[in-house]
Structures are given as structure tokens and as C-alpha cells.
Amino acid sequence: MEKAFLRALERAKEGQELTHQDIKSLLAADEQESQLLFAHADWVRQQNVGSDVHLRGIIEFTNYCRQHCHYCGLRADNTNAVRYRLSEDDILATARLAAQCGYRTLVLQGGEDVHFSPEDIARITSEVKKMGVAVTLSFGEYSRDIYQLWRDAGADRYLIKQETADEKLYQTIRPGKKLKDRLQCQQDLKELGYQLGSGSMVGLPMQTLDILARDLELMRQMDVDMSGIGPFIPHPDTPLGNYTSGSVAMTLKMIAVARIIMPLVLLPATTSLATLAPNGRELSLRAGANVIMPNVSPQEFRAFYAIYPNKASSPDPINETRRRLIALIEGENRTVGQDFGHSPKAQFQQ
């Protein structure tokens, strides 16, 4: 085993704040070293956030998007995408069904779709809140005033991933956009009292170990409540369509190090990892993850929310999917979170 790896793991076990070099040494772990890394991350998870796994239902309510992200199949320029948006009534009916099934958090996710006005989103948010669930919103970059409007309407959390901590790579994959503006959105959301979800993709073209380490350090610095780390998966109808997917092994190492350096963070076993590895959810739960976010959108639309191809999604009705996931969680000797699953860092527990 590498000395640098063992030294960094030792420092982690002593509870020291890991340096950039430590993080890189952990991310460079080989297969055997990775087992030690995962075991420690699993221990940190148990000590800090216990055995609960939180289930969040995602409603992908629109796949229209005004943005041009080079990695994403929903980008405005992809004319092959079949577009849909749910009506307000259908969003609320979907949310009601998921709440009745037992979901205590619903995530409303979509492209940046100008068809929905800020007031529409505020109205939908307050209606969903009345169903007795926590609400996460996730549809990109808006002004602080608009985030304020949605917060006042009852939104608890906002998921807006940094995608990559490298300014240059960021500008390459999100043409016309700047990382600092994304981080300003994150800062605004935090100041408005949202629980902040960030995250990044693993295996982006031109990404180095140094950038991966900085991804984790940036999330630690932003003091995020949630970090969704998943592999990049190329979509053929995008400018990055000819690149290769991120690696399952590196994604798991990123999850494990995220748990170690941010012990209280909520860490999903991402759908993108489950897309690349049939047991991706189980592997993530063993490496520090404590959230699963199944799709609860109406079945007829699921295939069209193709941010990347073959996105793992069960064709089953949502109650069956939920039963299957509960069995998976219990099979891992874990428990299903019964409360809202708020960030342990959030001051306000509802």
C-alpha cells in the first residue's frame, strides 16, 4: 500500500482536517486501499448520522431547458429531445400520490423552463407543502428575489450542483456561464435559509485528480448540506457525446472522501451511479451515502427526462419501487428515515 494513502487515512482517523494533498492521496486509492477508505467512511457515517437512509421522491416536471450545458441531453439545442411539461394539476396529483406513498420529501426538478413563471412555482410549492412534506426545488439559476419568493412559499431546500470546481472546465462545459455566478446562487440560497444541495460529476473530459480534490474542498468550503456526486455519462446528442463515462470506482471514492471531510452531509446514492452499476446504490450506501432519490414522475414521461441515456428508472408504480428500495435498505442493515430528513446542520427542524 502507498505510504501517502496510509498517512492520509491515518490523519482522517485522527479526525484531522484533511489537506488538498491528503484528499488526493485518498482519491488515488487502488482497489485494496479503497476497501479501507470505504470502511472508514461507513464508520464516520454511522457515528455522525446513524443508520437512517432518507428516501426523497423526485418529480421531473419539465424537460424544456433554456441552457446549453455540453453534458446534458436536455440542452436547448438538442432537437432530438422529445419535450414535455406536466400541467400544474398533474404536478400536484403526482405529489399527492407520492406523499400518500410515504415520501416525506419531494424534489421538484426540471430544466430552466421559462413557461413556468416564478409565481407559478411559488403557488405549486405552497400547494405541495400543504401535503405535509419537505420541498426541495432544483431547476437552476435564478435571482435572489425569486429564490426569496420560493422560500417564502415554503421551499426548504434547493439543489444546484457546482458541477466542477475548475473555473476553466466549468466554462468549457457550460458555455457562457461562470462558476462564480453559480456559487453566488448557492450563497444567496444559504443566506435565505435554504438547505443547500450541491454536487459534481466525476469523469468529465479533461478532469484531473487535482480538480476532483478541489470539487470536494469547494463543497466543504461552501458548507453544503447535501452533495450529489455522480459519474458523467455521455449523451450522444450533445457535444460531449463521444467521451467515455466516469468510473464507478472513482465515484465511490469521491462519496467516501466527501463523507469523511463533511461528516454531517447528506449524500445520495445517485441515479447516475445506479445507471452504470446495477449494485451502485448498495455500493454507495456502504461507502458513506445516506439518501436515495427515486423517480416518482408519471411513468409515461420518465424516458423523456434523458439528461443522459438509459437513466436507471424503474417502470414500476411508485409504491412498488418504494417497497423495493425499503427492502434494499434493510438488506444493507440500514433503517428507513421516518422524519423529513432535514440536514442535521439546519437550525430549524420542522
Residues in the site for ligand SAH, rule: CB under 6 A?
71-72, 109, 111-112, 138-140, 160-161, 163, 201, 230, 232-233, 235, 272, 307-308
The site string for ligand SF4 over 303-342 (x = CB under 6 A, - otherwise) reads ----x-----------------------------------
- The interface partner of residue 75, options being ligand SAH, ligand SF4, none and the CB cut-off 5 to 8 Å by kind, is ligand SF4
Q: How many residues bind ligand SF4 (CB under 6 A)?
A: 10
Cell numbers standing for residue 318: 411508485
- Kindly state the smallest distance separating residue 127's Cβ from ligand SF4, in Å: 23
The site string for ligand SF4 over 74-103 (x = CB under 6 A, - otherwise) reads xx----------------------------
- Kindly state the smallest distance separating residue 35's Cβ from ligand SAH, in Å: 26
- Determine the Cα–Cα distance for residues 279 and 15; give it in Å rounded to an integer: 30
Alpha-carbon torsion (23, 24, 26, 27), positive or negative: positive
Phi and psi torsions of 107, nearest 5°: -110, 120
Task: Tell me the Cα Rg of the chain.
Answer: 19
Residue ranges with strand state E in 225-309: 226-231, 291-292
Among 37, 69, 169, 248, binds ligand SF4 (CB under 6 A): 69
Residue 114 has a CB neighbour count (10 Å cut-off) of: 9
- Of residues 108 through 137, those in contact with ligand SF4 by CB under 6 A are 111-112
Q: Does 239 bind ligand SF4 (CB under 6 A)?
A: no
- Determine the Cα–Cα distance for residues 261 and 252; give it in Å rounded to an integer: 14
- The interface partner of residue 185, options being ligand SAH, ligand SF4, none and the CB cut-off 5 to 8 Å by kind, is none
Phi and psi torsions of 288, nearest 5°: 125, -10
Q: Does 67 bind ligand SF4 (CB under 6 A)?
A: yes
Cell numbers standing for residue 84: 414535455
For ligand SF4, the closer CB: 5 or 61: 61
* DSSP at 71: T
Residue 128 has a CB neighbour count (10 Å cut-off) of: 26
Q: What distance, in Å, lies between the first and last C-alpha atoms of the chain?
A: 46
- Kindly state the smallest distance separating residue 64's Cβ from ligand SAH, in Å: 10
Among 49, 72, 224, 252, binds ligand SF4 (CB under 6 A): 72
- The interface partner of residue 306, options being ligand SAH, ligand SF4, none and the CB cut-off 5 to 8 Å by kind, is none
Among 57, 140, 268, 280, binds ligand SF4 (CB under 6 A): 140
Q: Which helix (H) or strand (E) holds 60?
A: strand 57-62
Q: Do 82 and 304 contact (CB within 8 A), yes or no?
A: yes
For ligand SF4, the closer CB: 196 or 285: 196
Phi and psi torsions of 52, nearest 5°: -65, 140
- The interface partner of residue 230, options being ligand SF4, ligand SAH, none and the CB cut-off 5 to 8 Å by kind, is ligand SAH
- Kindly state the smallest distance separating residue 280's Cβ from ligand SAH, in Å: 13
Beta-carbon contacts of residue 274 (< 8 Å; ≥ 6 apart): 280, 281, 312
Binding residues for ligand SF4, per CB under 6 A? 65, 67, 69, 72, 74-75, 111-112, 140, 307
